[in-house]
Each structure stands twice: as C-alpha cells, then as structure tokens.
Amino acid sequence: MVVHFFLRKHIVELSKTFQIRLYLPVSSRDLCEISSLPCEVRAIPIARKISLLWDCITFCGLFFAFITHRPAIVWSVGPKAGLLGTMAALAAGIQHRVFVFQGEVWSNKKGFIRRLLKFCDRLTAMSATHVLAVSQSEKDFLVTENVVSLDHIRVLGSGTICGVDVVRFKPNLAVRAAMRARLGIGDDEVVCIFVGRLNRDKGVLLLAQAFGDCRRKGLPLALIIAGPEEDISHAEISASAGSRDRLFLIGYTDRPEDLMAAADFLCLPSRREGFGMVVLEAAAIGIPAIGSAVYGITDAISQGVTGLLVEDGNTSALCDAIKKLTEDQEMRFRLGKNAYRRVHHDFCSTSVIARYVLYFNNILAPSYQSPRQVSRKGMVLRELR
C-alpha cells in the first residue's frame, strides 16, 4: 500500500537515472499491482508489529541482499522497514542511507512502549546518513524530542512525500452528481468525508460520535467513511454514531477522488500524522478540511484559510467545527477555493517528486558528475524550493 499510494511516481522517475530494486513483503495480489513498475521486486518478510524472530530474519535477509548487490543508496520508508533497512545497510557498509519520517507511532503513547518506539526511531536516525521529514512541524517535533539533531534532518520544499496528482484529483461536477445519486444523497444534504485506514489513531470513532451529535441537532449532514478496517470495525463506528442513518461505510476504495467529489468538506481528527496527504487531495478537488491541531496536520491545514483546526480528542470542538461548515456555505466555498490555490502552488506532485529525484541525484553528485553539472542541479533545486 505504501508503494501504491506514495512511491509509484518516485520509482518511475528515479528509474530514468537509477536501477531500482524494491524489497517488500509481497503477495501475489501485491505483485500484480506493482509488476508494471520499472524496477526489480524482491520479496522479503517484514512483520508490521514487533516480532524478534521475524525481525532478525528480515535484518539478515536485507544484510545479505545489500552485501550481494551493493546498492549506491538504500532508501527506507516506514518505521519497521526504516529501522531494519538502515541498520542492515549500515552493517553492510552501504555509504548512502536515506530514511523519511512520516509520522511517529509513539507520539500519543505513554510509558514503556513510548520509550521503546522512540528509541527505535532514534536508532533509525543514527543509522541513516540522510534524514527527511515530510513536514516542518514533524521536523520540529523530532528535534524537540531529541530523536534527531537539527543539522541531520531536513524537509524538501513545503513537505509531503509525494504531493498531489492534480490531474487525478480535481473538481468534477458530473462525478459529484453521479456519486451522490449512487449513494442516495440529496442535493440539499451537506456531506462530510473521511478517507483513511480505520484505526483509533485516525480518530474515526471520535468523528462518528461528533457526527451523531450533529445529526441529533437536526443538521442536514451525511458522513462518508472510506478505508480498510484495521483495529476498528464498521459495527463500532455505527455504535459510536448511535445510528447508521446517513452514515455511509464504504471500505477500501482505489478511487477516493470520486467520493471526495461528492463531499463538501473532509474531516481528519487524527491523533498523529506525518503530513495529512488526504487533506491536500481534498484541497485539489476544491473542498476544505477539518483536522486535529497536531503536528503534520497543522502543515496541511492553514487555520481559517484552507480549513479549521480543533483540539486533539475534543469531541465538542469537533462537533462545533462540523456544525459551522455544515451551516455556512459561504465559508465552505471560501476555504475550499483557498485550499485549491494552495495545493496547486505548493504541493503539485510533479514538483514534489522532482525535488526527491534531485535530492537523490545530488547525494551521488560528487561521485559521478562534474562541478558544473552539480551546480546546475543545485540551481534547479533552489528554484523548485
């Protein structure tokens, strides 16, 4: 899913300069999804949760792969893959080791598990030669928490790992009408949408509860929730809302843009987020967003300009924000227009991915480019930033 949603275009563009070898726990279904990419795919077991046995097997597999193939750069994405990938690359003597922080799973945890996961992230940063964050607020958070030093981490441009495909995500009145008709949503209803994995850190139950409160106040509101179930079921969401009335539980979709086109605003009450990419996708369609005032989301939403920020975990504040956007059509249009302009100016995927390609080229520049070529690429990088 990480490759499918975040890295496809990087691989395509980087393959024009590099030979790409992709390591991931691949199934036959996953292989079909990525077989068209211009890269070699190698299956390797990577357990999502902590598993000493499988983690040791993964580390050894990566270590021997790196020893055998001697990649010029190892780029790791994700907490577990980041830890094992950078450490295996360090042990194998790979000179350039890149890791991208995309949100910290320990940021809203307490006690031993927080200390353990935080230590793992610190170990990842220490093992990497190049460290990136996908937002300025995440970078500040990591530096403040002493996970990484200020001079060892940077943000490319305005942030995000892949930006938004503004050709795919765009306003479409025909799709809006068709999707509303398909779901049975009337023209007089205001639609809030959530798109993402259904887990507790995403604040889905909080959103369902706030939606239920708004419905009981008589608001003409419908809620679309789209995403694969993880540690929250559709039944739990319905129970938190108090009813299935005007609640549409979609499940996984590979066309979130169609559902967003049917909506009037997006809500992301996440407890933690590296960068609220779904907020930018909604912005490209021209709708504003409500989000928690946590690092990452504060980069994606400009308070009162492109959306509304509410206190993390505050159901009452979330309900008030939903009520405000439901009742104030002029505000929705104004915030949506501002969000649309901002995403086209700062977060277009073409520019974001170009920064990553230049970043990787510049890592290796001294070893295979002339000073004049390096200077020219540096000028392009400054222009893109």
**Class of the CATH-defined domain 44-162:** alpha beta
- Which of the 8 DSSP states describes residue 348? B
- pLDDT, position 244: 87
- pLDDT, position 315: 94
- Using N-to-C axis directions, what is the helix angle for 79-91 and 111-127, rounded to 10°? 40
Q: How far is CA 375 from the centre of its chain?
A: 32
Can you list the alpha helix ranges (DSSP code H) found in 128-219? 136-144, 173-183, 204-216
- pLDDT, position 219: 95
The answer to whether 240 touches 249, Cβ cutoff 8 Å, is no
- Provide CB contacts within 8 A for 306, sequence distance 6+: 283, 288, 289, 335, 338, 339, 342
Using CA atoms, how far residue 149 sits from 101, 139, 146, in Å, is 14, 10, 7
Q: Is 203 left (phi over 0), alpha (psi -120 to 50) or beta?
A: left
- pLDDT, position 6: 87
Instruction: With H, G, I as helix, E, B as strand and everything else as coil, classify residue 262.
Output: coil
- pLDDT, position 32: 61
Same fold, 44-162 and 173-346: yes
- Provide CB contacts within 8 A for 129, sequence distance 6+: 95, 96, 97, 98
Tell me which residue of 129, 116, 130, 141 sits closest to 50, measured CA to CA.
Answer: 116
The answer to whether 361 touches 377, Cβ cutoff 8 Å, is yes
Q: Is 369 exposed, middle or buried (0-12, 13-18, 19+ CB in 10 A)?
A: middle
pLDDT along the chain (385 residues), means of 10: 86 93 78 78 84 92 95 93 96 97 87 94 97 94 96 94 94 96 94 93 94 95 93 93 92 92 97 89 97 93 96 95 97 97 95 95 70 36 35
The CATH fold of domain 173-346: Rossmann fold (3.40.50)
- pLDDT, position 82: 93
- pLDDT, position 30: 64
pTM score of the predicted model: 0.82
E strand or H helix at 277, and its extent? helix 277-285
Domain boundaries, the chain: 44-162, 173-346, 350-385
Beta strand extents in the chain (DSSP E only): 21-24, 40-43, 73-77, 96-101, 130-133, 153-154, 190-195, 221-226, 247-251, 265-268, 289-292, 307-310
